Amino acid sequence: MINNYIHPLSIGGVTLKNNIILAPMAGVTDLPFRLLCARYGSALQCMEMVSAKAIMYNNKNTEALLEIHPDEMPVSLQLFGSDPEIMAAQAHRIEERPFAILDINMGCPVPKVVNNNEGSALMKNGKLVGEIVESIVKAIDKPVTVKIRKGFDDEHVNACEIAHIAQESGASAITVHGRTREQYYAGEADWDIIARVKQAVNIPVIGNGDVRCGKDAKRMLESTGCDGVAIGRAVRGNPFLFREVIHYLETGEELPVPTREETVSVILEHAEPSYKYEGEYTAVREMRKAIGWYSAGIKGGAKLRGRINEMETMEDLKEVVKCFMA
């Protein structure tokens, strides 16, 4: 090891094997994909966000989102909502499930979430942030973390204030995405705000935004002093990125790009649990999206993407992938 960029990370009473983690992404970090990321080295698998109210109302689709497999552990379950009592009650209700950490979503920029005063809308109400964190911390014994953004917009950059409130209310770690809600995912992530949050609190700070390779992860760790890195959009169709980043941080060496054969093998590996947990109809449609990501930038990828909408069954999927290899 050339330095200490890679190290175990303790969050509350949970110690992760390293400090490179899978960020939560709705529509991406489902169980089949989390299993792959765990295998390629991610130290913590963050689940798709789950509505506290949906849990309260016993929503059938939400039950599927709560599924956890032993091979992906440790897992962080991300809850969203805006009512401290409901969120605390539902956190307590599901605490027996095998997640290691409960994360509170304060970063989702999607209008239907924000317009309900949830997700990144919470960045506008520090008092409510404190009440939510404190109520959940009191309700469960597992560590509680918070994922926030730089602020709601450029006129309200308050990540340091919100992070401090969360810490004082009992949060065990903070993940900071370096964009405002108004930016969504446009422009560049502001890593300086991650550094400022790191200076503002004593609990672990995990940086998030624009880490696409090992060099990016190293730069983020060096420039911000953050304790860990959460990788999001760059791993879509690329769970190999965890292996690449960890190897680079440990050795300073870049790994070769995954071969077409390895990519195809992982596509099929991704499809198998999708079929098992979601059924053929849903699995095939989810894999259409995933194959689009896997094939980006690969020779012959455009041809593959041109055929994926023809897939209706798992046999179709295997045939399409087999043709890609020909």
Looking at residue 216, its amino acid is: D
Long-range contacts of range 192-196, CB-CB < 8 Å, 24 or more positions apart? Answer: 192/224, 193/150, 193/157, 193/159, 193/160, 194/220, 194/224, 194/226, 195/223, 195/224, 195/225, 195/226, 196/159, 196/160
C-alpha 149/C-alpha 180 separation (Å) is 6
Contact of 105 with 80, CB cutoff 8 Å? yes
The structure tokens 């980006």 sit at 296
Sequence-ordered list of residues with C-beta below 8 angstroms from that of 263, at least 6 positions apart, any chain: 294, 295, 298
Q: Which of 116, 144, 150 is nearest to 130 (CA)?
A: 144
Per-residue tokens: 176: 């900071």
Contact of 24 with 49, CB cutoff 8 Å? yes
Per-residue tokens: 199: 């200076």
Strand 50-51 and strand 20-22: the pairing is unpaired
Q: Which of 46, 82, 84, 81 is nearest to 65 (CA)?
A: 46
- Taken in order 33, 74, 222, 1, is the CA torsion positive or negative? negative
Q: What angle do CA 127, 129, 132 make, to 5 degrees?
A: 110
Max Cα-Cα span within the chain = 59
Active-site amino acid positions: 108
